[in-house]
Copies of this chain bind each other. A is one copy, B any other.
Amino acid sequence: MAAQEQYEELARQLSAVAAVRRDLGRLLPPDCSPASAIVLAMVQKHGELRMSRLAELMAIDMSVTSRHVTYATEHGWLERHPDPADRRSRLLSLSPDGEELLREVSARYTQALAGCLQDWSDDDLGTLIGLLARLRTSFGDCRARPHQHLAHAAGAAVAG
């Protein structure tokens, strides 16, 4: 159990790291939106995916996912195949152009991050990545559990 001051500082830091995200986005090729880069990276990491699963992995609504996937498909980076097991569903996979784009993105990220994070050890970076993943899990579990701390806090704080 942590102190209230820490919670407020966490909220501030989460807002602030958005600037880092925007900086990384500026490294991308002109027609590759940050959203496209994430979609492609997810498909590469997890293999053939359904829309709903991709939306879950990105923690955004499926309607938004659909737009991002349409964009990436129209640019020839992603392919949508019918799912033989369920004709409502579509399976996503990387095209050769998509794989090529990901190699380019990875090269840019690596060059930039190797420069900015010169004084970071593997351990420190690994710790940060691990804690970020854990934070997401804690929030995801919270949404899924019946207690629903996130949803209830709004009303309860007003009442109290």
Contact = CB atoms under 8 A, between A and B. Distances in A.
A127 interface: yes
Copies in the complex: 2
B21 A14 contact: yes
Interface string A19-34: 1110110111100001
Interface string A28-62: 11000010001001100100000000000011100
A21 B108 CA distance: 26
Nearest to A3: B122
Q: Give the secondary structure class of A's interface.
A: helix
Contacts of A8: 41, 106, 109-110
Contacts of A85: none
A131 interface: yes
Interface stretch (A76-84, A92-100, A151-159): A151-159
A28 B15 CA distance: 14
Nearest to A8: B106
Contact of A4 (B38, B41, B106): B106
16 contacts: A2-B113, A6-B129, A7-B117, A14-B17, A14-B20, A14-B21, A15-B38, A16-B133, A20-B135, A20-B136, A23-B150, A115-B142, A116-B141, A116-B149, A124-B131, A127-B127
For the complex of A and B, 4 pairs with smallest distance between CB atoms: A115-B149, A19-B59, A112-B153, A116-B142
